[in-house]
């Protein structure tokens, strides 16, 4: 179980990912399910967010949350690399934050039950 929070940065995300991928398959699948069905609360539980970041997360459209949750859950469940590319907010520049998940994944499946996922998920946060 992961009890500490991480910074919302690529380094913080890599630290969290290392702890997640050290879990058993069952524990990791449980985390992937939480990500899929309660993305916002899972992010709040695992990252140090200020009130502005929490408000932004809470205000995201449900379709955006669903897309992020589906992609992140898939990547976690299959132990794929997840990269958070987050630029720092320019000082004195007003504007919207843009979150762009970019899945770079592929799967191979067969009628005999074989399944393999590969690739990575890049989540870009910019201003």
Question: Looking at the whole model, is its pTM more than 0.95?
Answer: no
pLDDT at residue 95 in the model: 56
CA dist 24 and 98 (Å) reads 34
65-78 per-position pLDDT tens digit: 999 999 999 999 99
pLDDT at residue 90 in the model: 56
pLDDT at residue 98 in the model: 79
pLDDT at residue 22 in the model: 96
pLDDT at residue 125 in the model: 85
Contact 71, 122 (CB under 8 A): no
CA dist 72 and 120 (Å) reads 10
E strands present in the chain: 6-7, 47-48, 81-86, 98-109, 115-126
* Residue ranges in the chain modelled with pLDDT below 50: 93
Locate 105 and state its tokens: 């994944």
């Amino acid at each position: 179980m992961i009890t500490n929070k991480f910074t919302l940065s690529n380094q913080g995300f890599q630290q969290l990912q290392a702890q997640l991928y050290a879990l058993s398959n069952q524990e990791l699948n449980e985390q992937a399910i939480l990500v899929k069905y309660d993305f916002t609360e899972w992010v709040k539980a695992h990252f140090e967010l200020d009130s502005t970041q929490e408000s932004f997360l809470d205000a995201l459209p449900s379709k955006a949350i669903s897309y992020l949750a589906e992609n992140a859950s898939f990547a976690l469940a299959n132990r794929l690399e997840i990269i958070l590319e987050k630029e720092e907010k320019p000082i004195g520049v007003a504007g919207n934050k843009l979150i762009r998940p970019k899945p770079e994944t592929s799967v191979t499946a067969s009628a005999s039950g074989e399944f393999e996922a590969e690739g990575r998920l890049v989540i870009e946060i910019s201003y």
